[in-house]
Copies of this chain bind each other. A is one copy, B any other.
C-alpha cells in the first residue's frame, strides 16, 4: 500500500526519528525528516544519507503522504497543533510516550488516558491516527542489527494499522495489530517499565515479544484488496 508514498518523520533529528528515517530510507522508501530548524534537519539528513531530505516540521508534514511523529512528550501538543492544518486526511503515526522526567521509570499516563488519546483530541476526527513504535530502543534501531522487539500498532481503522505494520516490517521489526487507539495506553505505560528493567537488570535496551503461534489475520482478504 506504501509504494511511492513519501514518509515524513516529524522530529526526525531526534534519536527515534533518525533511526526510523534511516531504516525506512535504507529499505528504499522516500523519506523526509522534519525539525524546528530547516538547517539542522538538512544537516541530519546529510549525515543519515540514503536520499533522506531535511525540511522544517511544517514543510515535512505538508509534503508527506504518511506522517510519523517522533517528538518528546513535552513537545507533543505544540508540534501537533503546528502540523494539524496540513495533515487532514493523512495517516499520522504517533510514537509519543508520556515520559515525565525525571521520573521516567514511573508510569504516568496523561489525564486523557494515553498520549495517543491526546493526539486524537488535538488532531480531531478528520485525521487518521495509529500509535506505535513505543517500546523499541532508539539506540538499537539506529544500527543495522536485528532487534528482539515486537511493535504493537494501535488504531481504530484496521487498514491504517496495516500500513503502519508494513512500515515496521520494512524496518525489520515485527509489527502487530494491538487493537483500538485507546489500547495504546498499554505500550506507552510499558515503556516506563522497560526503562525500569534496563536499570534494575542492567539490560542494554529491554524489549517485548509476544509469545504464542500468531496466524496473520485475513491474509487472503488483504491480497484481494491490493488486487482490486
Contact = CB atoms under 8 A, between A and B. Distances in A.
Interface string A165-205: 00000000000111110110111011011101110111111
Interface stretch (A62-70, A87-95, A104-112, A122-130): A104-112
A1 interface: no
A226 interface: no
Nearest to A206: B212
Contact of A107 (B108, B185, B213, B217): B185
A193 B207 contact: no
A107 B193 contact: no
Contacts of A107: 113, 179-180, 182-183, 185-186
Contacts of A203: 212-215
A206 to B, nearest CB: 4
Contacts of A186: 107, 186, 189-190, 192-193
A207 B211 contact: yes
Contacts of A196: 177-179, 183
Contacts of A193: 152, 178-179, 183, 186-187
A101 interface: no
B179 A105 contact: yes
A153 B107 CA distance: 14
Interface of A: 105-109, 113, 148-149, 152, 176-180, 182-183, 185-187, 189-190, 192-194, 196-198, 200-217
